[in-house]
Amino acid sequence: MFNYESHKKHKGGGLAQPHKTARFVIGLLALLLLPATSALSQDKSRIVEWHQPPISDKNTIPVKGTQAVSQIDVLEITGVVVDGKSVKLGQSFTADDNWIEKLTVKIKNVSNVTVSKVQMNLFLPQVMPGGPLVTFCYGCGPTVGKTISPGEEVEMKVVFYSWLTGEINKKSSLAEITKAEINDVTVAAADGTKWLSGCVKAADPANACPP
């Protein structure tokens, strides 16, 4: 038991002061725990790529009213960004466990028609078969009711992220998700025309769907 009077008597002597001893112990524990904490927060290698073989008019019968095509040309992918950094489809990059939430696909309407909705579905191989699918959308979710005019560029982000993470955690964890594959893209024009494909035109050849 700590004796206050004895401590006063020996103050400045050989006995260590309790508050200094406590600071030393806390500091030592912090140094020991630092490597483990850093390891837990380290980024991992991730990748987004086109699913192969891609959905097209050669291997898919779409729902009534939708036309399957080998590549969607009314839109163009102008960039792919994760946490503010540009990445290339099919090339690995480093990101933390919340990389899907931070993933942005930039698209531009390169046609002369108004686009009312774009939906992109991605597979996560680590939780397949059965999904869940990752859905990126413009014209639904937070952007419901918005359209893309000819020449306009917009950004698509993941929708229903809270639901998605819950479904992933039933099978695996966000930390284990390192790959996403673009499986299909559906585009709806304001006049009611719909296209479906596993490929979309890309401004950068590095992001183009493999032949």
Dump pLDDT digits (tens) for 36-79: 433 454 689 999 999 999 999 889 989 899 999 999 999 999 99
Dump pLDDT digits (tens) for 169-184: 999 999 999 999 999 9
Q: How many CB atoms lie within 10 A of CB 134?
A: 25
Ramachandran assignment for 131, one of left (phi > 0), alpha (psi -120 to 50 degrees), beta (any other): left
Segment 139-154 mean pLDDT: 97
Dump pLDDT digits (tens) for 101-123: 999 999 999 999 999 999 999 99
Dump pLDDT digits (tens) for 187-197: 999 999 999 99
**Percentage helix, strand, coil for the chain under 3-state DSSP, each rounded to 5:** 25, 35, 40
Structure-token match 């080998």, residue found: 70
pTM of the model: 0.79
Residue 118: closest CA among 147, 89, 86: 147
Q: Integer distance in angstroms from the first to the last C-alpha of the chain?
A: 78
Mean of pLDDT over the chain: 86
% the chain with pLDDT above 90: 76
Task: Dig out the tokens for 66 from the structure.
Answer: 């939708």
